[in-house]
C-alpha cells in the first residue's frame, strides 16, 4: 500500500508519517497528477456554457490530493531530508513543474476561464468567489495563457529550468553548512561561551570519537560564538565559514546558479510582457511596483543609516575603552554590542535564558493565543510524526470545535535546513458542505536540551517562536471555501503581519508574566529584567534596520534588472549594497550564495516585505496598546484579519481593523528612530 495514494484512516486525517517512505512520492504524485488531468479533461469536455461553478470551482479542487503529496514532500525536504529524498526531489520537481505548465497553458481550459471572466457580471456569486475568479484568471495570464506557439514552449522550458536551479541552490547551501566542522582541542579557547554551547560541542566531539569540542554552523551555535566567544580568531573563523557558504571554488559554488536564476527569471518576466522579474512579482503585491518598493526602502534608509552609524560608533567607543585594538570588524560587532547591552541595560542572554525554558515559552504562546482568541491546545502522542523530536497538537476554537492540527519541530539535526519557518501539510477549505480543517507546522533550530539541562532559549529565540506561531495562527484560524485563498495564501508583503505582530507580546510585562519563569526555582522574571527587555526594543535598532534594508536592496537589485546580469556575483553584490554597508568588505564573504530566502524560498523581489510588514504590525499593535494588549474588541478585530486569509484584499483588511491606512509613525517610535 502507498500511504500517499490510499491515505490510511488516521486521527483528523493526519499524514501517516510512520508509513511514508521516499519511494512513495513519485508514484503518488504521478497517480494524483493523472487524476487531476482527468478532472481537468472533464472540465474542458463539458458541453455546458462555462460557469463559475463548472469551471473555476472544479479547477480549484482538481489537484487537492496532489497538493497534499507535494506539500508533504517539500516540507520533508526542508526539515528531514536525506540523499534518497534529494534524489526524489531532482526527479519530482520537473514533473510537477511540467504538470503546472500543462495546466496553466491548457488552451481549452483557459478559453472557459476567460469566458467566465468576461461574463462575470452575469454570475451571482459572493465576494470571496469573485476574488477567486479574479485571481484564477489573472494567475493564468501571468503564467503565459495569452502566449502562443513557440513562446509557450519557451515558457515551459524556462519554468522547468527555474525549478532545477532553485533546488540545486538549496542543496548546495545545505551541504556546505553540514560539511563544516571546527575542532577545538583546548577548553581555554572557548572562554566566554555559554556552558550549554560548550557541552553540546563536547557531546558532538565524543559522538565522533574525539576528545575536545566540535562546532558546526547551525544557527544557535553560530550566533552564540559571534556574541560570546572572547577569542576574536574563533569569531573570525566562524564568520568567514558562515559567510563563504556556497561561495568557495568547489562543486557546491552557487555563483553560476545565481546568474542563471536571475537571468532566467528576467527572461520569463519579459516573455510575459513585464520589464523585470520585480515588475512581474510586484504586480500581485500590496506595493504594486518596483519604484514604490525602492522609494519605501530609500525613505527608511534616510532615517536608519544615521541611526546605524550612531550605533556602530557607540560600539566602537565601548570596545576601544574596554581594550579592543583597532577598528571593530564585522565578527566583532555582535560580541561588543552584546557587552554594551549588558553594561547599559544590565542585561544579557545568559541572565535571561534560565527564564525561557522552551516548554514554558511554548506554553506561554499557547496561553497568549487562548487569552486573545480562545484557542486550546492538546498534545496527541498517537498522531504519527516524521521525527521523534516533533510533537503533534490538536487545536480547538473558543466554542470547543476542532480547528487544526499543529506540529512543532524545534531542534537542529542533520538533514534539516537552518532557520525557522511555518508551513502547512493541508490547507483549509469547504467542499460539498464538509469543512476541512488545516494541518500546520512550525519548524525552528533552537539549542537542544543536554543531559543535565533543558533547552533554554535566548530572548531572540523567544521572539522567533512567537513569530512563527503568528504564522501558524494565520493558518490554523483560517475560514473560507477555497484553499488557494485561505490561511497564509495572501499577498507576500502582507503575510508577515500576523507573525510580526505576535512578537510584540514578548515585550509586554503582562504577557511575560505568563511564561517567563526560572526553570529551576519557578521564580518569575524580575521586574528589572522585564524593564530592560522593554528598553531593549530600541537597542541597536538602527543597525538592525539598515541590515534588513541591505538585504532588501540586494534582492531588488538582482530582480529589478531589465538586462541580463553580466557582472560577477561578488561585484554585483558589492555595488548593490554599497550604500548600506558600515564595514569594509571582507574578501570572499558573500551574502548572495546562501541567500536562500530569494533564491530558494519564494522571497524573490519580496525581501522588502519584512520591513513593509513591520510598518503594518507596529501600527496594528498600537491599537492593542491603546485598548489593552488583551483587549477583547481588538483581538476580535484582529481575528478577522487572521481568519480571512486571502479572501479579502489586504488593504481592506488592514483598513477595517485600524480604521485607516497604515502609517510609519508607530514603527519609528518603537525603534527609537527619528528624523
Cβ-Cβ contacts under 8 Å for 520 (sequence gap 6 or more)? 354
Each residue's pLDDT tens digit, 334-373: 999 999 999 999 888 888 999 999 999 999 999 999 999 9
- Domain shared by 317 and 361, yes or no: no
- Domain shared by 220 and 324, yes or no: no
- Domain shared by 50 and 97, yes or no: yes
Residues 175, 178, 180: CA angle, nearest 5 degrees: 110
Specify the 3-state DSSP secondary structure of 263.
Answer: helix
479 is a domain residue: yes
| Cell digits of residue 314 | 557607540
Q: CA 205 to CA 199: how far, in whole Å? A: 10
What letter does residue 146 receive in the DSSP assignment?
A: T
Q: CA 429 to CA 447: how far, in whole Å? A: 36
524 is a domain residue: no
Long-range contacts of 272-278 (CB under 8 A, 24+ apart): 272/142, 272/143, 272/144, 272/147, 272/155, 275/562, 276/559, 276/560, 276/561, 276/562, 277/559, 277/560, 277/561, 277/604, 277/605, 278/556, 278/559, 278/560, 278/605
**What pLDDT does residue 576 have?**
97
602 is a domain residue: yes
- Domain shared by 222 and 259, yes or no: no
Task: Give me the active site residues, please.
Answer: 468
Calculate the dihedral angle through the C-alpha atoms of 425, 427, 428, 429, rounding to the nearest 10 degrees. Answer: -130
**Nearest C-alpha neighbor of 11 from the set 332, 270, 393:** 393
**Which residues sit opposite 409 in a β-bridge?**
390, 443
- Domain shared by 184 and 166, yes or no: no
Contact present, 446 and 457 (Cβ < 8 Å): yes
- Domain shared by 484 and 543, yes or no: no
Contact present, 156 and 98 (Cβ < 8 Å): yes
What letter does residue 486 receive in the DSSP assignment?
A: S
Cβ-Cβ contacts under 8 Å for 279 (sequence gap 6 or more)? 269, 289, 290
Contact present, 441 and 425 (Cβ < 8 Å): yes
Q: What domain range includes position 438?
A: 353-489
47 is a domain residue: yes
Q: CA 104 to CA 125: how far, in whole Å? A: 24
Q: CA 477 to CA 291: how far, in whole Å? A: 34
666 is a domain residue: yes
Q: CA 82 to CA 484: how far, in whole Å? A: 30
**What pLDDT does residue 349 have?**
83
Phi, psi for residue 482 in degrees, rounded to 5: -110, 125
Q: What residues of the chain score a pLDDT lower than 70?
A: 675
- Domain shared by 400 and 289, yes or no: no
Calculate the dihedral angle through the C-alpha atoms of 335, 341, 346, 351, rounding to the nearest 10 degrees. Answer: -50
Give the residue from 465, 489, 513 where a domain finishes.
489
Cβ-Cβ contacts under 8 Å for 202 (sequence gap 6 or more)? 212, 213
**Nearest C-alpha neighbor of 108 from the set 173, 40, 203, 202:** 40
450, with CB counted inside 10 A (0-12, 13-18, 19+), is: middle
Q: How many CB atoms lie within 10 A of CB 35?
A: 16
CATH code, domain with 633? 1.10.1370.10
**What pLDDT does residue 450 have?**
84
Q: CA 387 to CA 391: how far, in whole Å? A: 9
**What pLDDT does residue 346 have?**
84
Q: CA 30 to CA 456: how far, in whole Å? A: 44
Helix (H) or strand (E) holding 214, with range, is strand 213-215
Core vs surface per residue 262-281: b (16+ CB within 10 A) or e: bbbbbbbbbbbebebbbbbb
- Domain shared by 115 and 29, yes or no: yes
β strands within 327-481, DSSP E? 376-379, 390-396, 402-409, 421-426, 429-431, 434-436, 439-443
**Nearest C-alpha neighbor of 337 from the set 359, 363, 355, 319:** 319
Give the residue from 192, 214, 243 where a domain finishes.
243
- Domain shared by 238 and 260, yes or no: no
Domain total in the chain:
4
Helix (H) or strand (E) holding 183, with range, is strand 182-184
531 is a domain residue: no
- Domain shared by 166 and 303, yes or no: yes
1 is a domain residue: no
Each residue's pLDDT tens digit, 44-102: 999 999 999 999 999 999 999 999 999 999 999 999 999 999 999 999 999 999 999 89
- Domain shared by 166 and 310, yes or no: yes
154 is a domain residue: no
404, 558, 574, 614 from 620: Cα distances, Å: 25, 31, 36, 10
Task: Look at the chain and count its residues.
Answer: 675
Q: CA 589 to CA 405: how far, in whole Å? A: 41
Q: CA 574 to CA 272: how far, in whole Å? A: 30
**What pLDDT does residue 675 have?**
61
CATH code, domain with 48? 1.20.1050.40
Q: Is 323 left (phi over 0), alpha (psi -120 to 50) or beta?
A: left
- Domain shared by 666 and 553, yes or no: yes
Amino acid at each position: 500500500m502507498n500511504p500517499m495514494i490510499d491515505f490510511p484512516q488516521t486521527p483528523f486525517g493526519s499524514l501517516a508519517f510512520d508509513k511514508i517512505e521516499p519511494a512513495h512520492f513519485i508514484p503518488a504524485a504521478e497517480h494524483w497528477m493523472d487524476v487531476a488531468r482527468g478532472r481537468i479533461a472533464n472540465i474542458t469536455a463539458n458541453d455546458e456554457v462555462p460557469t463559475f461553478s463548472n469551471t473555476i470551482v472544479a479547477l480549484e479542487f482538481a489537484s487537492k490530493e496532489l497538493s497534499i503529496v507535494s506539500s508533504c514532500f517539500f516540507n520533508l525536504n526542508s526539515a528531514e531530508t536525506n540523499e534518497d529524498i534529494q534524489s526524489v526531489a531532482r526527479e519530482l520537481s520537473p514533473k510537477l513543474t511540467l504538470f503546472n505548465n500543462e495546466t496553466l497553458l491548457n488552451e481549452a481550459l483557459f478559453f472557459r476561464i476567460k469566458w467566465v471572466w468576461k461574463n462575470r457580471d452575469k454570475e451571482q456569486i459572493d465576494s470571496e468567489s469573485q476574488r477567486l475568479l479574479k485571481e484564477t484568471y489573472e494567475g493564468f495570464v501571468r503564467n503565459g495563457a495569452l502566449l502562443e506557439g513557440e513562446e509557450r514552449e519557451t515558457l515551459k522550458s524556462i519554468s522547468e529550468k527555474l525549478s532545477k536551479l532553485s533546488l540545486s541552490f538549496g542543496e548546495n547551501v545545505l551541504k556546505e553548512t553540514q560539511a563544516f566542522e571546527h575542532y577545538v582541542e583546548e577548553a581555554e579557547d572557548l572562554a566566554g561561551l555559554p556552558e550549554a554551547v560548550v557541552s553540546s560541542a563536547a557531546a558532538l566531539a565524543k559522538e565522533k570519537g574525539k576528545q575536545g569540542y566540535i562546532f558546526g554552523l547551525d544557527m544557535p551555535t553560530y550566533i552564540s560564538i559571534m556574541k560570546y566567544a572572547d577569542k576574536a580568531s574563533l569569531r573570525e573563523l566562524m564568520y568567514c565559514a558562515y559567510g563563504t557558504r556556497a561561495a568557495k571554488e568547489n562543486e557546491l559554488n552557487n555563483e553560476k546558479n545565481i546568474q542563471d536564476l536571475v537571468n532566467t527569471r528576467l527572461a520569463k518576466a519579459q516573455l510575459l510582457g513585464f520589464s523585470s522579474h520585480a515588475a512581474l512579482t510586484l504586480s500581485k503585491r500590496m506595493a504594486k511596483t518596483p519604484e514604490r518598493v525602492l522609494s519605501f526602502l530609500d525613505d527608511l534608509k534616510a532615517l536608519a543609516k544615521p541611526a546605524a552609524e550612531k550605533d556602530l560608533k557607540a560600539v566602537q567607543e565601548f570596545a576601544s575603552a574596554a581594550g579592543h585594538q583597532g577598528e571593530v570588524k564585522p565578527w566583532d560587532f555582535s560580541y561588543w554590542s552584546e557587552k554594551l547591552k549588558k553594561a547599559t541595560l544590565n542585561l544579557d542572554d545568559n541572565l535571561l535564558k534560565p527564564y525561557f525554558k522552551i516548554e514554558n515559552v511554548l506554553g506561554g504562546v499557547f496561553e497568549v493565543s487562548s487569552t486573545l482568541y480562545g484557542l486550546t491546545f492538546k498534545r496527541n502522542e498517537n498522531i504519527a510524526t516524521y521525527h521523534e523530536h516533533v510533537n503533534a497538537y490538536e487545536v480547538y476554537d473558543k466554542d470547543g470545535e476542532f480547528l487544526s492540527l499543529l506540529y512543532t519541530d524545534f531542534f537542529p539535526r542533520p538533514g534539516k535546513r537552518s532557520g525557522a519557518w511555518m508551513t502547512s501539510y493541508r490547507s483549509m477549505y469547504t467542499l460539498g458542505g464538509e469543512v476541512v480543517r488545516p494541518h500546520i507546522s512550525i519548524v525552528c533550530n533552537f539549542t537542544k536540551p543536554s543531559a543535565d539541562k533543558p533547552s533554554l532559549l535566548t530572548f531572540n529565540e523567544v521572539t522567533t517562536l512567537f513569530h512563527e506561531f503568528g504564522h501558524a495562527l494565520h493558518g490554523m484560524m483560517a475560514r473560507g471555501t477555497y484553499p488557494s485563498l485561505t490561511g497564509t495564501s495572501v499577498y507576500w508583503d502582507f503575510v508577515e503581519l500576523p507573525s510580526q505582530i505576535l512578537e510584540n507580546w514578548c515585550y509586554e510585562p503582562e504577557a511575560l508574566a505568563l511564561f517567563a519563569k526560572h526553570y529551576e526555582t519557578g521564580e518569575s522574571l524580575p521586574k528589572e529584567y522585564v524593564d530592560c527587555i522593554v528598553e531593549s526594543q530600541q537597542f541597536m535598532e538602527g543597525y538592525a534596520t539598515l541590515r534588513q534594508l541591505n538585504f532588501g536592496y540586494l534582492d531588488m537589485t538582482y530582480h529589478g534588472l531589465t538586462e541580463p546580469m553580466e557582472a560577477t556575483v561578488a561585484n554585483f553584490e558589492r555595488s548593490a549594497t554599497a550604500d548600506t554597508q558600515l564595514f569594509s568588505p571582507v574578501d570572499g564573504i558573500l551574502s548572495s550564495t546562501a541567500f536562500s530566502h530569494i533564491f530558494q524560498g519564494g522571497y524573490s523581489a519580496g525581501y522588502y516585505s519584512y520591513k513593509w510588514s513591520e510598518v503594518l504590525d507596529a501600527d496594528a499593535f498600537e491599537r492593542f496598546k491603546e485598548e489593552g494588549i488583551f483587549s477583547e474588541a481588538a483581538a476580535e478585530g484582529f481575528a478577522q484579519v487572521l481568519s480571512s486569509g486571502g479572501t479579502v484584499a489586504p488593504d481592506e483588511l488592514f483598513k477595517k481593523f485600524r480604521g485607516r491606512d497604515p502609517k510609519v509613525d508607530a514603527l519609528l517610535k518603537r525603534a527609537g528612530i527619528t528624523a
